[in-house]
């Protein structure tokens, strides 16, 4: 165990945490902006209530995405100073652009949105949310362009032991980035979609007096603050359907861009592709193992080259070739981790998208009934929605593990190895302290976020203002609603 190992663990821990919150921010922001747009266009009350309800969940999560992101901006310099000095000329540019073009937009306009409900004209207020959401998505593009450069460095030359950028446009339009950006952003929409689906499923169950696990029944309590919600038209059905559509469309984009990434891997990172299958030798018509021992002949070749007879390079043969090119070293990543993360990513991701397709079919409105009331969402499906909550999050984290552990032992493919990237002046003890504190701090905060989210989902949306409320309805939290309009978010 040395500083290098701990620095790698620290990067892994802090980035996986960051990557739990950020995809939700990216997707949920667009979802909330969509809801507010629907309210703006139709003027229907339930869109506003959904906007505020999911807006609050969005903000609880947004805070974590921001604070865990600060760590990332500093961590390269703190733990990976050799890497930073080598790549800064190229890699620093998209990071600086991300801060300048994306983070300012996101943070400033989100502040305006949160505090501007009763201070800005409606249209401007809505535009502020869209500006913030565009900022979030733009930041994904820049950081993924930087990340793609590590896997497939382009637009640079090495002078005096440092990478020098020769073409910014090449860096920003790196083929790896162009495949990776839609893949990760769409996957973020699947994560957010899965989150909304679970929340809506839970609210549907709760308002029918059902519990998540079948067998126990709660009568809908008369005192339950959420009861009057049922009088509004199909609020949760609307939000569920919108999320199902978002997830299904995003799922198609994830699959398409994933296919593109797979083909790029064959040219750019053959070792990652080989490790993802555990393929030992160069093989024509390489099979794909659905599980160890269950092989589909030619499927890996089909995935990677759109040709079932194409040759896929194997781990041992790539190792031998790399030794000839780069000198003796171990060029093989952790094969079991890469193998399994690949399968979990595909399996869990496809299950989520399948669930959304099933949900769209179950909640369809038959032609004959158009204009009439649609079928209610089946209780068993609502339960499934809640239980599927972890699937897309696990899938996207697995995708990250596949992508980054499969890249090892390189930080910059073919140019710089991870072992040579670490800060030489930082001691084992220093990394151990920061790793321990970050792990504990992030663990506590993640738990707190979970508690806050669950609490707000259980509490349900705020009730309509008293004058519009059905007779006899009592606002759940009148003091908060009246006294603190601007600080509620």
Please list every residue from 93 through 122 that binds another protein, using CB under 8 A.
93, 95-101, 103-105, 107-112, 114-116, 119-120
Instruction: Give the shortest CB-15-to-another protein separation in angstroms.
Output: 14
Q: Would you call 376 helix, strand, or coil by DSSP?
A: coil
Tell me if 454 contacts another protein by CB under 8 A: no
Site string for another protein, 411-430 (x = CB under 8 A): ------------x-xx---x
Instruction: Give the shortest CB-434-to-another protein separation in angstroms.
Output: 5
Instruction: Give the shortest CB-155-to-another protein separation in angstroms.
Output: 10
**Do 146 and 102 touch, CB atoms closer than 8 A?**
no
For another protein, the closer of residues 69 and 464 by Cβ is: 69
Q: Would you call 294 helix, strand, or coil by DSSP?
A: strand
Using the rule CB under 8 A, which residue among 44, 45, 92, 363 binds another protein? 92
For another protein, the binding residues in 455-484 under the rule CB under 8 A are 455-456, 484
For another protein, the closer of residues 369 and 484 by Cβ is: 484
Q: How far, CA to CA in Å, does 204 sit from each of 55, 207, 239? A: 19, 5, 11
Instruction: Give the shortest CB-437-to-another protein separation in angstroms.
Output: 6
For another protein, the closer of residues 64 and 385 by Cβ is: 64
For another protein, the closer of residues 7 and 275 by Cβ is: 7
User: What's the N-to-C CA distance of the chain in angstroms?
Assistant: 45
* d(C-alpha 229, C-alpha 231), whole Å: 5
Instruction: List residues bridging with 157 in a β-sheet.
Output: 164
Instruction: Give the shortest CB-69-to-another protein separation in angstroms.
Output: 8
Q: How far, CA to CA in Å, does 24 sit from each of 11, 60, 438? A: 20, 11, 21
For another protein, the closer of residues 177 and 273 by Cβ is: 177
* Contact stretch for another protein (CB under 8 A) within 205-213, 239-247, 307-315, 451-459: 451-459
Check the CA dihedral 76-82-84-87 and report its sign. negative
For another protein, the binding residues in 149-188 under the rule CB under 8 A are 159, 162, 164-166, 168
Instruction: Give the shortest CB-406-to-another protein separation in angstroms.
Output: 25
The interaxial angle of helices 390-405 and 335-362, nearest 10 deg, is 150
For another protein, the closer of residues 378 and 429 by Cβ is: 429
CB neighbours of 261 closer than 8 A, spacing ≥ 6?
176, 179, 180, 183
- Number of residues this chain uses to bind another protein (CB under 8 A): 77
For another protein, the closer of residues 89 and 316 by Cβ is: 89
Instruction: Give the shortest CB-24-to-another protein separation in angstroms.
Output: 15
For another protein, the closer of residues 141 and 288 by Cβ is: 141
CB neighbours of 409 closer than 8 A, spacing ≥ 6?
329, 330, 331, 333, 417, 418, 419
CB atoms within 10 A of CB 159: 10
Instruction: Give the shortest CB-478-to-another protein separation in angstroms.
Output: 15
Tell me if 230 contacts another protein by CB under 8 A: no
For another protein, the binding residues in 277-336 under the rule CB under 8 A are none
For another protein, the binding residues in 62-91 under the rule CB under 8 A are 62-64, 66-71, 73-74, 76-91
For another protein, the closer of residues 39 and 156 by Cβ is: 156
Q: Would you call 486 helix, strand, or coil by DSSP?
A: coil
Closest CA to 171 of 263, 100, 97, 104: 97
The interaxial angle of helices 270-277 and 390-405, nearest 10 deg, is 130
* Contact stretch for another protein (CB under 8 A) within 270-278, 326-334, 356-364, 432-440: 432-440
CB atoms within 10 A of CB 391: 22
* d(C-alpha 301, C-alpha 312), whole Å: 6
Instruction: Give the shortest CB-356-to-another protein separation in angstroms.
Output: 29
Tell me if 362 contacts another protein by CB under 8 A: no
Q: How far, CA to CA in Å, does 248 sit from each of 206, 244, 354, 384? A: 25, 6, 8, 16
Instruction: Give the shortest CB-174-to-another protein separation in angstroms.
Output: 16
HEC-encoded secondary structure of 169-194: HHHHCCHHHHHHHHHHHHHHHHHHHH
Site string for another protein, 24-63 (x = CB under 8 A): --------------------------------x--xx-xx
CB atoms within 10 A of CB 378: 13
How many CA atoms, within 13 angstroms, populate the side-chain half-sphere of residue 190? 35
For another protein, the closer of residues 81 and 332 by Cβ is: 81
**Do 377 and 204 touch, CB atoms closer than 8 A?**
yes
Tell me if 445 contacts another protein by CB under 8 A: yes
For another protein, the closer of residues 253 and 446 by Cβ is: 446
Instruction: Give the shortest CB-52-to-another protein separation in angstroms.
Output: 12
Instruction: Give the shortest CB-442-to-another protein separation in angstroms.
Output: 9
* d(C-alpha 112, C-alpha 159), whole Å: 45
Tell me if 488 contacts another protein by CB under 8 A: yes
């Amino acid at each position: 165990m040395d500083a290098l190992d701990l620095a790698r663990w620290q990067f892994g821990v802090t980035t996986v945490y960051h990557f739990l919150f950020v995809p939700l921010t990216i997707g949920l922001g667009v979802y909330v902006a969509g809801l507010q747009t629907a309210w703006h266009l139709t003027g229907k009350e339930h869109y506003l209530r959904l906007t505020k309800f999911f807006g609050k969940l969005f903000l609880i999560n947004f805070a974590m995405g921001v604070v865990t992101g600060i760590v990332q901006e500093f961590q390269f310099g703190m733990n990976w100073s050799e890497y930073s000095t080598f790549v800064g000329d190229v890699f620093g540019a998209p990071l600086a652009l991300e801060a300048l073009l994306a983070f300012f937009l996101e943070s400033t306009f989100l502040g305006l949105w949160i505090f501007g409900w009763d201070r800005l004209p409606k249209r401007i207020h809505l535009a502020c949310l869209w500006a913030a959401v565009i900022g979030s998505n733009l930041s994904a593009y820049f950081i993924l362009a930087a990340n793609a450069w590590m896997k497939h460095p382009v637009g640079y030359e090495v002078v005096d032991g440092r990478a020098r950028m020769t073409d910014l446009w090449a860096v920003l339009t790196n083929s790896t980035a162009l495949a990776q950006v839609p893949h990760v952003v769409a996957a973020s929409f699947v994560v957010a979609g899965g989150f909304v689906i679970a929340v809506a499923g839970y609210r549907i169950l709760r308002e029918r007096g059902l519990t998540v696990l079948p067998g126990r029944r709660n009568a809908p309590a008369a005192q339950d603050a959420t009861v009057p919600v049922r009088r509004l038209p199909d609020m949760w059905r609307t939000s569920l359907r919108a999320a199902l559509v978002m997830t299904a469309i995003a799922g198609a984009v994830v699959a398409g861009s994933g296919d593109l990434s797979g083909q790029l891997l064959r040219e750019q990172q053959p070792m990652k592709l080989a490790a993802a299958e555990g393929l030992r030798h160069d093989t024509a018509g390489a099979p794909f193992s659905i599980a160890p021992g269950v092989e589909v002949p030619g499927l890996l070749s089909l995935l990677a080259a759109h040709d079932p007879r194409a040759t896929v390079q194997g781990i041992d043969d790539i190792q031998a070739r790399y030794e000839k090119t780069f000198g003796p070293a171990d060029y093989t990543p952790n094969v079991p981790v890469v193998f399994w993360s690949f399968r979990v990513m595909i399996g869990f991701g496809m299950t989520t998208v399948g669930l959304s397709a099933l949900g769209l079919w179950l909640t369809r409105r038959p032609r004959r009934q158009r204009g009439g009331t649609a079928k209610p969402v089946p209780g068993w499906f609502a339960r499934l929605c809640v239980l599927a909550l972890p699937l897309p999050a696990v899938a996207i984290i697995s995708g990250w593990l596949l992508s980054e552990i499969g890249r090892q032992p390189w930080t910059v493919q073919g140019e710089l190895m991870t072992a040579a990237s670490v800060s030489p002046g930082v001691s084992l003890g220093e990394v151990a302290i920061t790793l321990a504190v970050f792990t504990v701090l992030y663990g506590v905060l993640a738990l707190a976020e979970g508690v806050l989210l669950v609490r707000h989902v259980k509490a349900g949306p705020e009730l309509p203002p008293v004058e519009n409320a059905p007779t006899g309805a009592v606002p759940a939290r009148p003091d908060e609603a009246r006294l603190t309009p601007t600080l509620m978010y």
